[in-house]
Structure 1
Amino acid sequence: MWAGPMARARNKLTARQAAALTKPGRHSDGGGLYLVIDGEGAAMRRRWLYLFPWSGKRREMGLGGFPAVSLADARKARDDAEHVAREGRDPIAARDQSREVPASKPTFGEVADALIAAKEGEWRNSKHREQWKMTLLKYAAPLRTRPVDEIDTAAVLDVLKPLWTAKPETASRLRGRIEAVLDAAKAQGQRSGENPAAWRGHLSHLLPKRQKLSRGHHAAMAYADMPAFMASLRGRDAMAALALEFCILTATRSGETLGAQWCEIDTEKKVWTVPAKRMKAAREHRIPLSDRALAIVKTLEEGKAGDFVFPGRKATRPLSNMAMEMMLRRMKVEDITVHGFRSAFRDWAGNETHFPREIAEAALAHVVGDKAEQAYRRSDALEKRRALMAAWASHCEPKTGGNILKFERSSGNPAA
């Protein structure tokens, strides 16, 4: 605590005298203010020092160098510090506190980018990252430059309303991602209070309830047309054509095929093992390769130059996500999707074969049954599925004279 004023004369020095002083040591101006000179000649350093009693001890408080800090400025700083001490506050602590610049809150964009970087490890493919990045960059653009603690309900609604009816699925995903960003900010102490992007009990009262999506089926080819389609496909000399045929024969998703790597394929055992990180269900999936699927692999193996079975223009990267869809467009197959071939496979297996349902579902990497049933079904029935995939390849094999294409859209159940 302040121990009372020192009974000393004040303002002993003049500005000229202070400027003329060169002798090392402390030169008193009175009232606890000193001009301290250290060193001599070119190494000489002059600075102001305020000495004051605090809690029974003498404290030293630097007030800056001379002549950058003039005699008048040093006296004012001394007087201000003395005033603070008389109020019972430590002048040094008070000054340090006043110098602290409150850390500015990060912007919504900064928190969003940090969240995307943090979540990358839990996403199984780059598609999720690009979707998050795109929505939070494009659609949430008005929020990105605003401090994250200033985002309120009105700001969220301004972003969501233009999309809510025009692009309901996009708007719903965007709302969830905005909510996640604001939750992350709250968890880090960067904002407080309720989340203005929360749906239940909040935005549900301010936005119309979104219509339940009628997802429809992926446009699928009638399985009876597969032999003729395969004949036409094999006439295409392109990596995308081989990738599409392999994708159909293995009944896999396009991303699984395009991301296939040589280290995943055992040509001796005729098995392709897709690691869990690349599967939708996050479970390793073994796929028995039919003779035709294996022939495609061995053909490509002869000229492999990188890790990917189906490389793009650069061997270090796979084919584009759109490569197989574009192949369909070039073949004038307008109302069919790559994913729809999984539907064709499932329809064929259910309508034309006697393989059990769970075998067909396992071939599609679908999770069948409740957790108890899954626990008992430890095997992935690889050999039973081998027979199924061989039969599917046989069905898809081009028939003599099967080059005339007449495509129909399947009405069967979709395969996700």
Structure 2
Amino acid sequence: MGKLTVAKVRNAKPGFGSSGKPVKRAYQDGDGLFVLVAPSGAKSWMLRVQVDGKRRDIGLGTVDVDGLGTEAFGKGDPRHSEIPLMLRKSLSLAEAREKAAALRKLAKAGNDPKVERDRQRVKVPSFAEAVTEAHKALKSGWSERTAKAFKASLEEHANPKLGELKVNAIGSAEVITALAPIWTDKPVMARKVRSRIGQVLAFAKARGWRTDALPDARELRTGLSKQARGGNFAAMPFAEVPAFIADELGKGASASRYAVLFAILTAARSGEVRQVTWEQIDLEARTWTRPASVMKMKEGHVVTLSDAAVALLEAFAPKDMRKGLIFAGTRGGPLSDMSLTKALRTAGRTETVHGFRSAFRDWAAEKMPTIPAMVAEMALAHRVGTATEQAYLRSDLRDMRRALMEAWGRFAAPSLTGIAGNVTPLRRLESRVRQR
């Protein structure tokens, strides 16, 4: 039984120092609970506990001497029950004892009672604020382009509907409302935004800003109309690739045009090609060693270069110019992604550069059935197999990848390998490049 009573708490006074001035005074209730009276007469509750062998003094709230809390609202008043004990700023004696007992129990279990006290006090941000915080915390693990796209897409397509809502109040219905305007008109973007909304809400849950489960994927699918089939990157049928490359080789050389051709022959991503340097290329070994910094999976990758890819590079630049970026823009920096797209549009094509990876994969499946699918996936720098298979597969299957890429080069650009009957001789190609 505690030493204090309501009357004692109400009548508690500050102490007086040797000079006669009032000083803070503590009145003990027991089990580490004290009421502190400041020189001004203000009263507050304090709990003293041992945490990891050290004394900790934890403030619990002000003293509610008039019975504010349970007594003020009246027995059974719902307004009181809606306020969690740890969030009550003014406590009666009974409430202070209850709160102190809960925190003592947590301390004995090895938890930090101060952290537990403050857990429910965390300010829950709005979705827009959470987007900013998630971007700030996660961007160091992304490429600059991914970080920029993450924030821009959410600010444009999610914040108008979700931005002012608290992250702990967002469920499936709210996400559906945000996605509906773009779900069928911009299906690719809509799916990205849906994923990024999920990332923000997962980040919010990890920070303690929400406790509910993330919106259920099945509920989202049920609440949104069915998207049109497709939505993948527009790809050129692989049978049309040889004619396209032959036609492009017959035109004047430009960095963007040859970057597209190199992307096709290596089945590489646009960003990887735009950042390729001569220092990454070993023409003698016929390899392109790509650093982790330019790779989507953030893992270094070695591309085996076919005769066609090597011939394209050798024709594009003389030996004394093989330094730095291979496909540099007019200002000396990397080409923009749009510059490669523009090269395709100038050629009268509506596909994407990324779509040529799909063309390569289709060709490998249909025309190279004796080579395992895993080889083509590795050539695309995809992770293959289960986690267990990845742990045991120590080879990068380079010899098999070299055979596959060499066959792709002969198929896609026979004129560069000298095996076609009606070809553009390499010396004539080199001559045109020199005149650019």
Does structure 2 conserve the Cα–Cα contact (< 8 Å) formed by 1:108 and 1:143?
A: no
Question: Counterparts of 2:369 and 2:210 in 1: how far apart (Å)?
Answer: 60
Using the TM superposition, give the Cα deviation of residue 136 of structure 1 relative to its aligned residue in structure 2, in angstroms.
1.5
**Partner of 2:196 in structure 1?**
177
Using the TM superposition, give the Cα deviation of residue 180 of structure 1 relative to its aligned residue in structure 2, in angstroms.
2.9
Structure 1 residue 340 and structure 2 residue 355: aligned? yes
Using the TM superposition, give the Cα deviation of residue 288 of structure 1 relative to its aligned residue in structure 2, in angstroms.
1.7
Match of 2:41 among 84, 95, 103: 84
Question: Counterparts of 2:137 and 2:26 in 1: how far apart (Å)?
Answer: 52
Does structure 2 conserve the Cα–Cα contact (< 8 Å) formed by 1:227 and 1:397?
A: no
Question: Counterparts of 1:371 and 1:157 in 2: how far apart (Å)?
Answer: 34
Does structure 2 conserve the Cα–Cα contact (< 8 Å) formed by 1:249 and 1:392?
A: yes
222 and 293 in structure 1: CA distance in 2 versus 1, 3 angstrom threshold = closer
Question: Counterparts of 1:251 and 1:328 in 2: how far apart (Å)?
Answer: 16
Question: Counterparts of 1:181 and 1:170 in 2: how far apart (Å)?
Answer: 16
Does structure 1 conserve the Cα–Cα contact (< 8 Å) formed by 2:44 and 2:62?
A: no
CA deviations on 1:83-127 (whole Å, 9 max, x unpaired) are: 835x7889xx979x99xxx9975443332122113222333x334
Task: Give the residue type in structure 2 aligned to 1:381.
Answer: L
Structure 1 residue 394 and structure 2 residue 410: aligned? yes
For 1:273, what is the secondary structure of its paired residue?
Answer: strand
209 and 289 in structure 1: CA distance in 2 versus 1, 3 angstrom threshold = same
Task: Give the residue type in structure 1 aligned to 2:287.
Answer: V
Using the TM superposition, give the Cα deviation of residue 150 of structure 1 relative to its aligned residue in structure 2, in angstroms.
7.2
CA deviations on 1:216-257 (whole Å, 9 max, x unpaired) are: 674314436505632433423210111111112212222221
Question: Counterparts of 1:115 and 1:352 in 2: how far apart (Å)?
Answer: 45
CA RMSD of aligned residues (A): 4.3
**Partner of 2:371 in structure 1?**
356
Does structure 2 conserve the Cα–Cα contact (< 8 Å) formed by 1:168 and 1:210?
A: no
| Unaligned ranges ≥5, structure 1 | 7-25, 27-31, 33-50, 58-80, 404-416
**Partner of 2:285 in structure 1?**
269
Using the TM superposition, give the Cα deviation of residue 211 of structure 1 relative to its aligned residue in structure 2, in angstroms.
4.9
Using the TM superposition, give the Cα deviation of residue 198 of structure 1 relative to its aligned residue in structure 2, in angstroms.
1.4
Structure 1 residue 311 and structure 2 residue 328: aligned? yes
Question: Counterparts of 2:167 and 2:356 in 1: how far apart (Å)?
Answer: 48
**Partner of 1:20 in structure 2?**
none
363 and 208 in structure 1: CA distance in 2 versus 1, 3 angstrom threshold = closer
Using the TM superposition, give the Cα deviation of residue 215 of structure 1 relative to its aligned residue in structure 2, in angstroms.
4.4
State the identity %.
33
| Unaligned ranges ≥5, structure 2 | 1-11, 28-37, 47-60, 64-88, 91-120, 425-436
Question: Counterparts of 2:190 and 2:363 in 1: how far apart (Å)?
Answer: 37
**Partner of 1:290 in structure 2?**
306
Question: Counterparts of 1:247 and 1:114 in 2: how far apart (Å)?
Answer: 36
Question: Counterparts of 1:313 and 1:139 in 2: how far apart (Å)?
Answer: 34
**Partner of 1:161 in structure 2?**
180
For 2:302, what is the secondary structure of its paired residue?
Answer: strand
248 and 211 in structure 1: CA distance in 2 versus 1, 3 angstrom threshold = closer
Match of 1:252 among 268, 276, 298: 268
For 2:276, what is the secondary structure of its paired residue?
Answer: coil
**Partner of 2:134 in structure 1?**
115
Aligned pairs, how many? 325
Using the TM superposition, give the Cα deviation of residue 290 of structure 1 relative to its aligned residue in structure 2, in angstroms.
2.6
Using the TM superposition, give the Cα deviation of residue 151 of structure 1 relative to its aligned residue in structure 2, in angstroms.
4.6
Does structure 1 conserve the Cα–Cα contact (< 8 Å) formed by 2:279 and 2:323?
A: no
Structure 2 counterparts to residues 98-247 of structure 1, below 5 A: 106-123=125-142, 125-142=143-160, 146=164, 148=166, 151-153=169-171, 156=175, 158-189=177-208, 191-194=209-212, 198-200=215-217, 207-208=223-224, 210-211=226-227, 213-215=229-231, 218-223=234-239, 226-227=242-243, 229-247=245-263
Structure 2 counterparts to residues 1-40 of structure 1, below 5 A: 1-2=12-13
138 and 245 in structure 1: CA distance in 2 versus 1, 3 angstrom threshold = same
Does structure 2 conserve the Cα–Cα contact (< 8 Å) formed by 1:247 and 1:257?
A: yes
Larger radius of gyration, structure 1 or 2? 1
Task: Give the residue type in structure 1 aligned to 2:357.
Answer: R
Question: Counterparts of 2:244 and 2:179 in 1: how far apart (Å)?
Answer: 47
CA deviations on 1:258-308 (whole Å, 9 max, x unpaired) are: 2323342223322102234543455432212233422443444643664x3
- Bigger drift between 160-169 and 134-143 goes to 160-169
CA deviations on 1:60-85 (whole Å, 9 max, x unpaired) are: xxxxxxxxxxxxxxxxxxxxx87835
Question: Counterparts of 1:375 and 1:56 in 2: how far apart (Å)?
Answer: 63
Does structure 1 conserve the Cα–Cα contact (< 8 Å) formed by 2:161 and 2:177?
A: no
Using the TM superposition, give the Cα deviation of residue 155 of structure 1 relative to its aligned residue in structure 2, in angstroms.
5.4
Task: Give the residue type in structure 1 aligned to 2:307.
Answer: D
Using the TM superposition, give the Cα deviation of residue 142 of structure 1 relative to its aligned residue in structure 2, in angstroms.
2.8
Task: Give the residue type in structure 1 aligned to 2:149.
Answer: Q
Does structure 2 conserve the Cα–Cα contact (< 8 Å) formed by 1:148 and 1:185?
A: no
TM-score, with structure 1 as normaliser: 0.62
